Structure 1
């Protein structure tokens, strides 16, 4: 079966499978664009990238914060880039501990069109999440939309409290207007928090990097890996992106258009993975129709965690293969 036929078959299989297909928004490359730079924003909207993050935080100087939020608000107030688009339109606000977060939220969440996703940096504890979610819910209580939330782990305290923070955010989102969808590993801020000296292989970050992806997957969240700040080092970027994908990360932060294709390819399931997952889901469906639970596939006893892994492969492939 060639790759194009396989893609068509995947669609038929998903429509017929007995496993429910949950909504999944690909964010293989999460690209930051300064909110005060209309030229860069305009260019970003023409790129083939999964997630465009209009930034109010680190990418914007202190004296440009108001300009950034107003520019983003103007974009959200127009229909341009709202319909017929294939990217996740996100906004990164300033952290709760800053003086800017409330103003960011008021500007962004009272726009004519809401962003798909809000990114909240530097989340350390449940009190910050409670304040943030209360603000969001109060601003969009009358609207029908549900916004995805992505939180950042960027400090020693944030790493320690990460499990409790995820659990708390999910509990609060059950009755609110925002849904926790993913987590970003903020490696550079974590280094500053701990006093880490970065090495070329990143070994000093291994514990935090693995803990974040482990807990993220425990809550069925996307995990966005650390940024590669040397944007000209494409070979190093490829190595780190492939390593992150092997560890279980679903995407990576990018800061330059040249990084996008390398990152998005690294987090796209291979033909071999897709064929494995397709066959496994088909076999599962056949056994379910016969009333059989456990079954053997290619010599291995299949359990639900394996089925979930296959479903994850198909979720990503199905939603990122429009350009195949």
Structure 2
């Protein structure tokens, strides 16, 4: 399944959460972190649970919940409506060690109490151990959920390779805004102040063979700037990009979908490769260009992405 676009939706807004699948995002992520005020966390957990447990809510998109950095156990218990743990607690990385799992079906898209959930996102990840602990929390509740690790601090960037390589990590996302705040950098339109970190995260994800999701583009009214930024992220090697507004989903999805010309070129390359192999030729050309192993790998990747996009949820598109 493609993860070209991931749309955040406030966890304390049932109406917006129910509308999110209609945007066509590949992943919809109900946010308990930045989008919810501290005194509304319990209310948001209950709202997310209500939406996810509604039998009528069964989108074709991948469904994710962004947990809070401070209280992932309380978040999971609230969303899954588990009887375990103290929902008002703030246990950070270590608070669930003595909790028992909720009674529910194991794994799958629908489990505890009929809750429709595929993945969780963990913010401010700075170690592989953090990812493994959250995966263990899910397992204790009989849920086999994908874990998206959001890398958005200096310590997280420096540990990105280990985070991406953790067994429980399914995708790594980069957060430029929080990183800039963490290191005291000033954000610019050019983004040179976060370029090293942006490249470092995508390299870590690629080495671990997990998806890499690029940072948000904060000016949701600037479509041309978004398209340019998304295209640059794609050139860096990212698989998709985070969105904070429904209007961003279309341009982002388009940026991470191979265009017809690229697909046609890739198909010609692989056809020519197959013909050369049958004829015992090690060297061949396509459109006047000599083709070598890196270009063959690029062609294979383009066709893989195109196939993933064809299989991707289409939501309201």
Aligned to 1:115: 117
Alpha-carbon contact 1:250-1:267 (below 8 Å) kept: yes
C-alpha deviation, 1:57, in angstroms: 0.9
Render the CA deviation track for 1:291-324: whole Å, top value 9, x for unaligned. Answer: 9696635253443x54443333223222324779
Alpha-carbon contact 2:125-2:156 (below 8 Å) kept: yes
- What are the equivalent positions in structure 2 for 1:65-104 lying under 5 Å apart? 65-82=41-58, 85-95=59-69, 98=70, 100-104=71-75
Aligned to 1:52: 28
Aligned to 1:133: 135
C-alpha deviation, 1:262, in angstroms: 1.4
CA distance in 2, matches of 1:300, 1:147: 44
Q: Residue 254 of structure 1: which of 225, 243, 249 is its match?
A: 243
- What are the equivalent positions in structure 2 for 1:281-320 lying under 5 Å apart? 281-285=270-274, 290=278, 296-298=284-286, 299-303=289-293, 306-320=295-309
TM-score by length of 2: 0.80
Aligned to 1:6: none
Alpha-carbon contact 1:76-1:111 (below 8 Å) kept: no
> Residue 24 of structure 2: SS of its match in structure 1?
coil
Aligned to 2:164: 166
CA distance in 2, matches of 1:136, 1:86: 22
Alpha-carbon contact 2:36-2:44 (below 8 Å) kept: yes
CA distance in 1, matches of 2:135, 2:283: 44
C-alpha deviation, 1:111, in angstroms: 3.9
- What are the equivalent positions in structure 2 for 1:143-162 lying under 5 Å apart? 146-162=144-160
Q: Residue 276 of structure 1: which of 258, 261, 265 is its match?
A: 265
Alpha-carbon contact 1:108-1:114 (below 8 Å) kept: no
Alpha-carbon contact 1:295-1:302 (below 8 Å) kept: yes
Change (3 A) 1:243 1:73: same
Aligned to 2:19: 43
CA distance in 2, matches of 1:315, 1:88: 19
**Any gaps of 5 or more consecutive residues in structure 1?**
1-24, 174-179
The number of equivalent residue pairs is 280
Alpha-carbon contact 1:294-1:301 (below 8 Å) kept: no
Alpha-carbon contact 2:151-2:160 (below 8 Å) kept: yes
Aligned to 1:232: 221
CA distance in 2, matches of 1:311, 1:113: 37
CA distance in 1, matches of 2:282, 2:72: 50
Aligned to 1:14: none
**How much is the aligned-residue C-alpha RMSD, in angstroms?**
2.3
Superposed structure 1 runs of 4+ greater than 6 Å apart? none
Render the CA deviation track for 1:28-59: whole Å, top value 9, x for unaligned. Answer: 12110001101111221222221111111111
TM-score by length of 1: 0.79
> Residue 216 of structure 2: SS of its match in structure 1?
coil
**Any gaps of 5 or more consecutive residues in structure 2?**
81-111
Render the CA deviation track for 1:66-102: whole Å, top value 9, x for unaligned. Answer: 11111211222222232xx43111111112xx1x210
Moved more, 203-212 or 118-127: 118-127
Aligned to 1:27: 3
